């Protein structure tokens, strides 16, 4: 597998995208391919910049053996469109914002996460205003999507 830089994007970079970053990083370490991946996350909005992920995201990740507590929220920058090979939005709203912000010659890097990873044209819902069950459901969606993404990247680079 050749080196790939992946950026996960949600709205505030405190719930979904930090979880996805933690999950993919953990899966890559487990599979022995972490040296071939750079994984990061960001938000389309900047109001949480510098803060840790939501405590519920930290808790659900920790429950699955993943520590995301040291991550800090940041907003997507213009440099990200150059730096990352794949920019994966959690939902259609954030996908649209990314496509509006990206230079024309970098839009091919931007995709809806579950659509790109597993062919499911589906949003990862924002669990922020819900309860713990919503965070567990999102974790499960992200884990399945990240597993599919890792397989897809291995297959794409093998051919």
Annotated catalytic sites, by residue? 10, 16, 126
CA distance 77 to 58: 24
Q: Residue 127 has which token pair?
A: 């669990």
CA distance 7 to 26: 15
Task: Please give the sequence-ordered ranges of beta strands (E in DSSP) within the chain, or none if there are none.
Answer: 4-10, 37-43, 86-89, 110-112
The residue length of the chain stands at 159
71, 22 contact by CB (below 8 A): yes
CA distance 10 to 25: 17
Q: How far apart are the first and last CA of the chain?
A: 10
């Amino acid at each position: 597998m050749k080196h790939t830089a992946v950026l996960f994007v949600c709205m505030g970079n405190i719930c979904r995208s930090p979880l996805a970053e933690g999950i993919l990083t953990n899966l890559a370490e487990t599979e022995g391919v972490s040296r071939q991946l750079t994984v990061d996350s960001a938000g389309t909005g900047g109001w949480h910049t510098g803060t840790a992920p939501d405590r519920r995201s930290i808790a659900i990740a920790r429950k699955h053996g993943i520590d995301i507590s040291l991550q800090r929220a940041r907003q997507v920058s213009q440099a990200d469109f150059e730096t990352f090979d794949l920019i994966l939005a959690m939902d259609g709203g954030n996908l649209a914002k990314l496509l509006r912000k990206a230079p024309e010659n970098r839009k091919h890097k931007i995709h809806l996460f579950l659509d790109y990873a597993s062919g499911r044209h589906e949003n990862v819902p924002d669990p922020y205003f819900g309860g713990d069950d919503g965070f567990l459901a999102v974790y499960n969606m992200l884990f399945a999507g990240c597993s599919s993404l890792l397989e897809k990247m291995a297959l794409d680079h093998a051919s």
